[in-house]
Structures are given as C-alpha cells and as structure tokens.
Structure 1
C-alpha cells in the first residue's frame, strides 16, 4: 500500500513537472508585431524609460560620456525618445532632445499636434530639419527622402497625414493658425473624373491609397478649424463643400458613410456660426450676403440697409441646408418679414384670425382695384406684404377650384349637352379659361424672374406646368372641335355618344380636362406646408410617393414575368373553339387581369379551361397562386414597410422638415411683384405701363450710348425684399422703404467684420467646451507623468543639496578638529593617532557610523578641554587661598576627577 501511494505521488509529480515544463516553453509569434525587447541595448532601454518618466538627469548621463546612446533609438512600439516625450507633453525633455545633434523628429510633430501643445509644436517646427514645405503637402515625400535606407511606415499615421491635415482633423485652431503662418497648405483633391497624369498614376499604383488620401484631405477641408481660418466666407464654403461631399457619396459609394458624415459636419458648422449671431442686424448681414461681390457691390449693400435680397438664404434652400434654414435665428427673421404690416396678427386667437381673413377676402375685389390705381398708398403697401399676397393667391385658387366643381356637375349645362360635339363654351367655362390664363401669366413671370434652372428645381412647378398644359390642350381641342363642327367638316353637331368617332376631339378634351381637375385639386396640398400640423403630413406623403415609385419598378418586373408566363400558357387555346377565358389570351389582358387580382377582382374560374388539359390548368393555378403569394404577401408588405420607414424619418425631424418646407413656400411671396392674384393680374395697370416705357427708354439709351451698359436683368434671386422694422419686440411698417432708417449701427459694418466676430465667438466657444469636457484617461496619464518628472527633479535637487551639506560638514569638522588638536597637543593624542582616527572615519552622511564617530571625537576633545580648564581653575583658587593665609583644600570645590563636575560643565557648555 505505501508503495502504491509512492507510485501515485511520483506519477503526480511527473505530471506536475510536465505541466510546468509546458508552461515555460516559448510560444512562437508568427507576425512579430512588436520589436524584440531583448534586442534593445540596456543603456538605450534606460534612456527610453527615463524619457517616459521625465528623468532629465538620467537622460543627460546617457547622452554624455565616452559611449553615448543613440538619440534616435526606439522601443518595442517603434517610438523614439522625442516621440515619447512629446506624447507625455514634457517640454523640458523635448527641449533637451532637440539640442542633440542628428535628432530625427519624424512623427513627433504629429504627436504634438494631436496632443495640442502649442509650445512643443512651435519648438519642433523651428528645428532646422523642418522646412515650410514639409508642414504641408511635402510631408510624406520628406519622410521617404530622409529615411530611405531604413524607412518603415509607422502604425500611428499614414504617410499622407501631414501636420496641417492632422491639425485640421483635431480642430486645433491655434496650432493650425501657427502652421498656416509657417507656410502649411493642403492641396484640394481633383475631381473624381479627373484624367490628369498624376491622378491616373495614383489610381493605377494603389487605388485604395488614392481613395483614402482623398477622404483624409476632405476630412481636413471639412473641419471647422480649416474653414474658419482659411475662408473669407465660411458659410458659403460650408454650403459648397457639403454639396460636393453629397455628390461624392453618391458616386463613390464605397465610402458613402464617411462622406455623409463630413457633409453633416459642414452643415452643423454653418448652423453653429449662425447660432453665434447676437442681433437681428448680424442675422440680416449673414442671410443677405450675395454669392460673389466686389467692393462696389459690398459698399452698396452696406449703405443701403433697407434692401433685403436674402441671397444666402436662397442659396441654403438650393443646397438643401435644412438645419440652417430651420435655425431659430433664420426663422425669426422670416417670420418678421412674413407678417410685415400686421404687427399684432400673431397675438390674436384663432377665431379673430378667421374673422379677419373672411373680411379681407370679401374686400379683395375692391382692394385690387384700389391697388391698380394707387399702388404706393398705405393699402398698396399692405397688399404687397407676403402674408396678404399668400392669402389672396390662396383665395383665388380656392375660387378656381369652386368653378371646377361647378363644371363637373350638370347644373351649368343644357339637357342635350351629352349629344353635342364641339359645343360652344359656357359662361362658367369662360371664367375657367380666364383663371387659367391668369395662372399661365403668373407662371411666365415667375419663370422670367427666377430663371429656368431655379424654376425646374422645384417639383411643384412641374405640377403647375403639367396642370396648365392639360388645360391648354383641353382649350385647344375644344376650339378645334368647335370650328370643325361649325364649318361642317366633321359630321353633324348632335349625335349619340355611342356613334361618336373613337378619337373625337371633344372626347379627348373631356378626358384631358378630367385629368387636369385631378392635378388642380392635388395642387392645393402644396398650401398645407404653411400649417404646422398638416405640413409634416404633406412632406411624408411626398416621401411615400418616392417609395411607391421605387416599388413600382420591382413590381412591374414581377408583373411582367407572370403575365408573360400565363400568356404563353393560355394563348394556344383559341377562344372561338375552346371557350377558354380571355383573361390571359393576350399580353395586355394578362397585365390587366393580374393587376386587378391584387384587389380581389379576379376569380379562380377565370383561369379554368373548358375541355382543356388538366396539366395546363394545374400549372396555371400554381402560377396564379405564386403570383398572389409574391405580390400580396411579400411586395405589398415591403411597400408598407418602406412607407412606414419614410414616415418615421420625417416624424423624427418633423419640426425641421416642416420649417424648411414652409420657408420654401414663403420665399415665393417675399420678392416684389405678383401682388395681385389671378385673374386681376391680367389687368394692365398704370404702373406696368410706366415700367414698360422706362424699359424701352433704357434700351434706346443703351443702343445710342457708345459704351455698353453693364446692367443686367433683375431676378428673384437678386430681388428686393422689404426690410422689417420694429419698435421694441413688435414688428411694424413705417412708411416706404426709402424712409426707413437702420435701428442700429451693426448694419453699417462690413460682412467681413461681422463674420470675423462670428468666427471668433465660435472659436472661444469650442475652446470653452473643450475645457469643460472633464478629466479623461489621457489627462490622468499626463498628470502621472508630470508627477513622475517632478519626483525625479526633486530627487536630483536633493542629491545636490546633500552633497553640498556633506562638503560643508566635512569642512566644518576638519576645522573644528584642527583647532582643537593644534591648541592642545599636550592632551596625549599624537599626530600619528590623529591621522589614524581621521582615516578610519566614514565620511558618508547617509550612514550612522559617521555621526557616531564625529560625536565621540567631539566628546573626547571637549572632556580633555574641560579637564584642563578645571585643573587651571583649581590651581588658581588654591593659590589665591594660600595667598590669603588659608590652609588645606576648600570643601566647596569638588575634585578635578569628579565625574559629576565634568558632567555639569559639559551640560552647561
């Protein structure tokens, strides 16, 4: 039994030893991502560790001597001493290393830019090895040229990340400003379709590196720091760059998310700048800025304070800057312009507003006539306000829809109207024709003012164009049918509709008129954007229509596949012989049957064959079942999911989407012109005659003048919007625009001054937010490094102070002993013994032996001195007593050898 236990224990020991052996076996690392630590020289390791700790004295010792360390040595991560010091933000160590010959800065400048230490960056770029070209686009080339022999790409940054680009990435305003002053630049990427030699070489060499270079460059160009410091118009630069990045996201969709993030960053920066405005005058100056202005235009804009073009706002609408347009500052200005002339409108309740609107609508004919005669009167100015124009134009369109409703019924027509071909227009149709003519004239004026590009950019203009085109086609066909029937070239006038020709002009005109009515009633949805409750629903409906268009493409493919399959299966059976259903006999009927089957209007008996083959019927039923399963269960639910997703996206940003859509609606009523609604706009007013004669006069003067004029056509983009004036917090109208005075001196400031203030406020806000971010892990590590560096500095100072104290005590001890020994050579201590005792002492202050030796030596010397002094005093006293006639020794004085007396004297001393 004991032998078995011994065997078991020995077996366990063997297993444990084998496990221990397995643990200590080295594991092979196939990639070797780190540098071998044992390959580093111990002195270099101590040097790098001292750089990490901030031990300046140890680094100086390593750099000096007969075998100094290499100042460019690296650790396991490939970091040099200067990179470690920069990463720890140790300015003293960096200053020490920069004084060494042959030091290579490398990525240390990038580390300093990332950490945001202005002093270190300034020290590094002042080094002779850093040139102005290296700060910018020549950074990667300089790194390759400096280290061609042993260059290895670092793991921290790619070669295309220059100090300027990194400073822009990190939004280091002060450092980026310093680098720009020293000549740092960023080369803007070429267009994606560029065919230059350089782009072609980069694409063929490495397509991924070329794409990443473009992304890193655009990330720097889209940073708020770069736009703020390099652009004279930061808001315009942000608009253009965001639009460019959105196009790149669609074309280079491999990096779509990155480009979209940069686009959103540009949009947020423009909103942040607008958020820095502190007065209405600054907001007006920002939104009223033209795209490109020379000095004369800028001077005219600053002097004419009452002219508002809102060019920058229109540009924001063009570039779809929804956050910028929906900003509270922008919306406050738009609201003040919208209700200009009606100062107390927003303070009234809903019932009062409704009654006022009814009263104003009833006065529309009289006010329109009054405006035609006196356009510059008070009432004329009230009618030119945006809200009044919107109200009257909406009322005019409402009357037009009422006429369409009346035309859709038989109350305005004769009893035999359905039998008349080419009937003459009725009074109601003449009114509709007049209204349509007024709408066409308004659209022509809008097209002339805005231009073709701006006109076709709005989808509602397309709806108006289609609607009016259908009405024009209807009127033209009715005119053709009337004259053909009138001259007897197209048969009799009255005929039963069953006998009319297939392509009768009257039939076609009625069909087009019906479609035009649908578009007309759909047009009223556009007016819902003015309401905060119906507006988001209208926007969601527009997005859903886009989803439906995408869905119809896939659905048409599925429908075509089943229609062709079923038609190929059934067309062999002639309906005249077999009596088979005509549902799938032709391709057109197949499309029709499958479409209506989605709404359960097709029955199963329609796919049955009388006298047909069972196999054919089975295949037909299977195809019909598969179509219903795919179309109804899969595709229909997919459409519902797409529409729900679109609605949820709009609902998440309902306020922003509604304000953006409302702003586009409002901007159509801000510019001067188109005051009267249809059909009152067809009346030629005296003002129109005056403008026409003035234009003719200008044309004649221009032709007769020797120098060609430089005036151009006034567009809505450069239109004249009445500047709102206010008294306190209430906006009101004070006479004509020419008599209004600026309320503050801010408007007289140039755009550059205002933008400079906005950018300065933005930079201060960013720095304030950065300071209030709290303490993170990097800050704690920096504090730890500072404490470590301070500890080593204090330790070095302590060593120096202790050495000084030691030398001072040695000198004091030597002087004391020399004085004692020279004055009392007869004390019994010889010169040889004194030298022996001095050599035997340990002069190290940090050991207690030295202190005890000094103490013993001083006590022996003092005891010897005290003994001699006591003997002298006793001798003098005895001589004095004897001289006075006394005998014997006095009893009040102890003997010289008394220990108590010696102790008393020693204590007193």
Structure 2
C-alpha cells in the first residue's frame, strides 16, 4: 500500500497511484501537457514515482519516467541495484544526468536523502556488497571506482576534517567501503591477482579489527569472507595443472625454479605470510605438498610402520657417510638424494638426536674433575661445541633468508635463539673460567664446591648449561608437527599456553599485592627474638621467616598454590593476637582469591579453549606442518649440524659468485 500525502493535488495523487498499480496509460496521461504533473513528486514517505516503479520492477514505466525532463534519479538507482534488475540499472546509468563520478565518490553530491540505504553507500559500493556481478560489470564499464580507505590514524587533511566533523560517519564510511572491497565480485572483476588481493585484504582487516575494537566483529566477519574467497577458488581446481597454476604463480610469472626444475610454491608461501590457514590446509594443497615431501621415496605412504622405521634408522646411521659424499660432490646422485625435503628432515632430526645424546653424556663429570675450577673441556663437550656452532650458523642462514620480520614471527625461532644464546654464554664462561684459573687469577684451582664463590664462572656456566638443556629437549616437540597424532596435540597445547599467560598476569598482580601486605605486617619483627628459660637453659627463638621480607612472602604465596600453609607460619613469638588474626585474614583472602577463584577460572578457561581449539586442531596442525615442510623445500640447509660448518666447494663457488656480481 502506498501512502499518498493529503496535500498533493488530485492529479499528482492519481499519478502516484497509477505508478503503484503499473497503469502505463494513466501515467502517460498525467505526464502529457498542457498540465503535466511534477515527475519528481513524492509520497508521504518520501518515495518518488521512479523509486516506486523500480520497486515494482516495471521496466516500461521506468523508461517513460526517465524520458521526462528534469527527472531526478537519486536513490532510485540504489533501489534498482538492490532489486537486481539489470535493464533498469542500465537505463539509469546511461541517463544524461548520471556521470561516472556520481557512481562512486561523487554520489553524496547527487542525493542527500538516505531512505533505508546508508548515505555513505555509493551505487558501485552497494552493487559490490550485494555481489551483483553483471550490474557491477556495467558500472565498471562506465568508469565507476571505489577509493581505498586511508588507514586509521591517518593525519591527512581529508581524514582529519572528516573525523572532526563526524567521527561516526567517518568510521561507517570505512566499514562500508571495506564491505565493497571484500566482495568476491569486486575482487574478481578489478584485481589482476585475486588471490593475492584477498590475502592482503584479509590481513589488513584483521589489523583493523585489532585497532578499532568498536567494530571488531564487522571487520573480523569481512576478514573471514576474504579468507574464504581463495579457498573457494581452490575448490574449482579439477586438475594438477590448474592447482600448480594457482600455487606457483608469482609476480614474475615464474612457476618453476629454473635451477632445480621444481615448483616455487610462491603463492603458498604468501598464504603462510598472511596466515591464510584455510587456504594452506585445503586438501588440494596438502595433497600436492605431501607428494613433494615424499619425493625420492616412492611408495612411502604404502609401507608398513616397521619398514618406515627401518628406513629412517638406516638413513640416520649412514648420515656421516652421506654427508661426506655431499661435501665432496653435491651434484652427484647421492648429493641430489640429500636435497630431497624428507631426507633433509630426517638428517636434521637424526643430527639433533645425536646432540641430545651428547648432552646426556655430558651431564655426569669425572670424579677427579668435580672440584676443579675452570676444568678443560672433555671430548663430549668439544663435540657439543661443534654442534652449537652448527646450530648457530643454521639460525643465521635462516635469519638471512627469511628476513627479520618473518623470523621473529615464528615462536620456535625464539626458542632456538634462547637455547643458542644460553649455550654461547656457557661456552664463554667456561673459557673465562679456564683462562682465569690458568693465569692464576682464581686460586686455589681445586677445592670443595662449598668453598667456591657464588659468582664463580664455572658455577654460572653449569646453571646456564642446565637451563639450555631443558630448552633443547623441549625443542623435540617441534618435530611432533609431522605426526598426524601428536601434531594436533602439540598445537592445542601451544594455544592453551596463551590462557596460562593471561592467568599469570592477573595472578602475579594479586600475589604481589598480598606479598606487600604480609611484608609490611611482619617486617617489623624481622630482627626480634624471644628468649625463655627451658630446663635451666635460656633458649632464644626467632620468628618464622616466611613473611618477614617481600621476597620470602612472594615465594611462600606461590608455593601455597600447591600445598597448604600451616598456622605456624603466621604465629609470632611475641604472641600478638591481633597480628596473627590479621595475617590469618589476609592469608584466607589470598587463598580464596588465588586458589578458589583464579585457579578454577583458569581450569574453566582452558577447558573452553580446548573445546574451541580442538574443533580446528586439524587445520591448525596442517598449517603448522606446512610451515615446517616448506622450510625444507627451499634451497640450502642440506647438511645438518655440525656438518654445515664444513666449508664445501659449493659454498666457495657461491661465495666467489656473489663477490663478482
């Protein structure tokens, strides 16, 4: 039903009713001279005759109205786009009053009435948001464009003025623009590289969601839409040729690495860079990667578990011989065999297993060297030094190849950096201790450890070595990513550690506040003692030390999470009832806040996180496994530590080649 304003003239009312009924003859009569009605007359709701005809999808009446002089198209074009009637949109776009600029940024100057469409939305933006593919093609052919929004915090004149005039409108305009830019139809029609465009746009939208928390849900929804677009393109692949075209296409159109005639996987590496997990974990990608991973080992997946273990063990055992062959002749048959990704992985894993065995053997020391300050290195420790040199060199090459930004984004690289730094510090301190003892600075050379100073370099090096060994054995979890059973478990465990980190930030704040209170309460009795006569002897007792200092209070409160603190820790020799009561109240409040509330909240949060992560564990695992696999697909890192510190003829050749460039 169309509400006609009572102030309208009789002929105008008849005209609007005729348009609503679709009565072509009546519309023509109302527009004929000598007394034609105003073609732009509106109803009480502000709807023009043209808008009504568009809503009714009456092409003939729309054509009649567009032929009238002075017709204002206005938001009728937006309604036509939303209805998806191509013929009507085509007539309006071709109307003399519509210019290419009006279809885009200049639309706000054409109409100020919003109706039920946001005034920030232009015709081309609305068309893209609704995925009207054919209509969008039409608008693009007319020269319509969408300008990329400026980043939040932009200090240009336009952004500052728009934000100052109406900050809400400024934010809404950015969201509406990104809704159009994230449209599959817009990406498909305007981008020469739709996959890369979707990757970058998804990345930008996730950063916007972080910066503009007020509209986080909208931006994350658009980011998810962009992530799905390249995945849907992969779904359309029907052959390996099409899949290789997508995954290997790079900016120079080089699909093959000319040096080794192997796929470059440039597009897949970009997916890892922009964290496109659904794209990377797609079955088509994973099938191609699996075939490349087991290259050189035909029938690997069909072999039994025993046959696989036997082959891997044989490769690890023969690795020294194979490494020597590669050093002598890297382009021989054995050298090419060493460059297969899976063989490189097995050699790296076997080498690290030997390193862990050496660490275990280095733990006990000869009896006569236990009390020796600055002892000389044993044979095992010398081998460990070579391994550490190889590990450090491997990390340096990885940093050079990836760049600092990508290198620090991988948390396993942080673990390797800490581990290698601890080993280097251990070696440095051992050298310092040996030099000082040899030079006679530290005297005596041999004495019981209880007589050693606490800052002795040997003692500090042993402590750092112990911590480094913990990191080394923990690094074995990194290899779990290749296993379909342990990989998802490792991913789930790593994600749940984030919840533990959030908990610790709150817990340490609460613990510090109570530790300050306890140390203030009991600190005045630090140096006091009470003496009494017992059996003819005078016995002096000091107060319990658990809460006398801030450090002691922190440690006591921390360990109270795992055991119950007895009342004796709060009792004072002065028998001060108020002091003990206050301490008991503080300890009770801490137990309720930290143990009852926070610990149970942590358990509940970790349970929820586990359920949420477990549903995506397979995708997360395949994404992490792909990152591991691709690190072995690239050239280099063929020789594992410590063999990689050997200067090979190939390395000399490449060094001289770079020098002469």
TM norm. shorter chain > 0.5: yes
1:812-838 Cα shifts (integer Å, max 9, x gaps): xxxxxxxxxxxxxxxxxxxxxxxxxxx
- Among candidates 278, 284, 304, match of residue 238 of structure 2: 278
Which residue of the partner structure matches residue 166 of structure 1? 126
- Among candidates 350, 355, 362, match of residue 305 of structure 2: 350
Which residue of the partner structure matches residue 566 of structure 2? 603
Confirm whether residue 505 of structure 1 aligns to residue 454 of structure 2. no
1:606-664 Cα shifts (integer Å, max 9, x gaps): 01122232122111101100000000011111212222232222211122111100000
Confirm whether residue 433 of structure 1 aligns to residue 433 of structure 2. no
Q: Which is greater in Rg?
A: 1
Following the alignment from structure 1 to structure 2, what is the Cα–Cα distance between the partners of residues 58 and 112? 23
Change beyond 3 A, Cα 1:80–1:36: closer
Change beyond 3 A, Cα 1:183–1:304: farther
Asked whether the equivalents of residues 256 and 264 of structure 2 are also in contact (C-alpha less than 8 Å), the reply is no
Change beyond 3 A, Cα 1:302–1:361: closer
Following the alignment from structure 2 to structure 1, what is the Cα–Cα distance between the partners of residues 4 and 658? 86
Confirm whether residue 189 of structure 1 aligns to residue 149 of structure 2. yes
Mapping 1:347-496, distance limit 5 Å: 347-408=302-363, 410=364, 413-496=365-448
Following the alignment from structure 2 to structure 1, what is the Cα–Cα distance between the partners of residues 261 and 19? 65
Following the alignment from structure 2 to structure 1, what is the Cα–Cα distance between the partners of residues 647 and 161? 65
Q: Residue 165 of structure 1: CA displacement?
A: 0.6
Which residue of the partner structure matches residue 628 of structure 1? 591
- Among candidates 288, 297, 300, match of residue 248 of structure 2: 288
Secondary structure of the 1:488 match is: coil
Secondary structure of the 2:46 match is: coil
Which residue of the partner structure matches residue 95 of structure 1? 63
Mapping 1:621-700, distance limit 5 Å: 621-696=584-659, 698-699=660-661
Following the alignment from structure 2 to structure 1, what is the Cα–Cα distance between the partners of residues 259 and 37? 72
Asked whether the equivalents of residues 19 and 61 of structure 2 are also in contact (C-alpha less than 8 Å), the reply is yes
Following the alignment from structure 1 to structure 2, what is the Cα–Cα distance between the partners of residues 338 and 514? 35
Which residue of the partner structure matches residue 281 of structure 2? 326
Secondary structure of the 2:303 match is: coil
Following the alignment from structure 1 to structure 2, what is the Cα–Cα distance between the partners of residues 482 and 602? 45
- Among candidates 133, 142, 151, match of residue 110 of structure 2: 142
Which residue of the partner structure matches residue 539 of structure 2? none
Following the alignment from structure 1 to structure 2, what is the Cα–Cα distance between the partners of residues 486 and 370? 41
Secondary structure of the 2:92 match is: helix
Structure 2, unmatched stretches of 5+, are 531-541
Which residue of the partner structure matches residue 236 of structure 1? 196
Following the alignment from structure 2 to structure 1, what is the Cα–Cα distance between the partners of residues 80 and 96? 17
What's the TM-score once normalised by structure 1's chain length?
A: 0.69
Which residue of the partner structure matches residue 77 of structure 2? 109
- Among candidates 158, 166, 175, match of residue 198 of structure 1: 158
Which residue of the partner structure matches residue 28 of structure 2? 60
Asked whether the equivalents of residues 124 and 144 of structure 2 are also in contact (C-alpha less than 8 Å), the reply is yes
Asked whether the equivalents of residues 492 and 617 of structure 2 are also in contact (C-alpha less than 8 Å), the reply is no
**Structure possessing the higher relative contact order (Cα contacts under 8 Å, 6 or more residues apart):** 1
Asked whether the equivalents of residues 426 and 461 of structure 2 are also in contact (C-alpha less than 8 Å), the reply is yes
1:261-289 Cα shifts (integer Å, max 9, x gaps): 11111111121223223322232232223
Confirm whether residue 83 of structure 1 aligns to residue 51 of structure 2. yes
Following the alignment from structure 1 to structure 2, what is the Cα–Cα distance between the partners of residues 438 and 196? 50
Following the alignment from structure 2 to structure 1, what is the Cα–Cα distance between the partners of residues 555 and 432? 34
Farther-moved stretch of structure 1 (542-551 vs 682-691): 682-691
Asked whether the equivalents of residues 257 and 263 of structure 2 are also in contact (C-alpha less than 8 Å), the reply is no
1:226-260 Cα shifts (integer Å, max 9, x gaps): 11111111111111111111111111111011111
Change beyond 3 A, Cα 1:300–1:385: closer
Following the alignment from structure 2 to structure 1, what is the Cα–Cα distance between the partners of residues 178 and 336? 49
Following the alignment from structure 1 to structure 2, what is the Cα–Cα distance between the partners of residues 575 and 72? 95
Asked whether the equivalents of residues 575 and 582 of structure 1 are also in contact (C-alpha less than 8 Å), the reply is no
1:840-860 Cα shifts (integer Å, max 9, x gaps): xxxxxxxxxxxxxxxxxxxxx
Which residue of the partner structure matches residue 580 of structure 1? 543
Say how many residue pairs are matched. 649
Q: Residue 42 of structure 1: CA displacement?
A: 4.8
Following the alignment from structure 1 to structure 2, what is the Cα–Cα distance between the partners of residues 598 and 612? 27
Following the alignment from structure 1 to structure 2, what is the Cα–Cα distance between the partners of residues 360 and 619? 68
Confirm whether residue 253 of structure 1 aligns to residue 213 of structure 2. yes
Q: Residue 421 of structure 1: CA displacement?
A: 1.2
RMSD: 2.0
1:189-220 Cα shifts (integer Å, max 9, x gaps): 11212112211111111110111011111111
Secondary structure of the 1:416 match is: helix
Following the alignment from structure 1 to structure 2, what is the Cα–Cα distance between the partners of residues 302 and 559? 57
Secondary structure of the 1:629 match is: helix
- Among candidates 18, 37, 41, match of residue 73 of structure 1: 41
Asked whether the equivalents of residues 245 and 255 of structure 2 are also in contact (C-alpha less than 8 Å), the reply is no
- Among candidates 87, 98, 101, match of residue 130 of structure 1: 98
Following the alignment from structure 1 to structure 2, what is the Cα–Cα distance between the partners of residues 438 and 128? 73
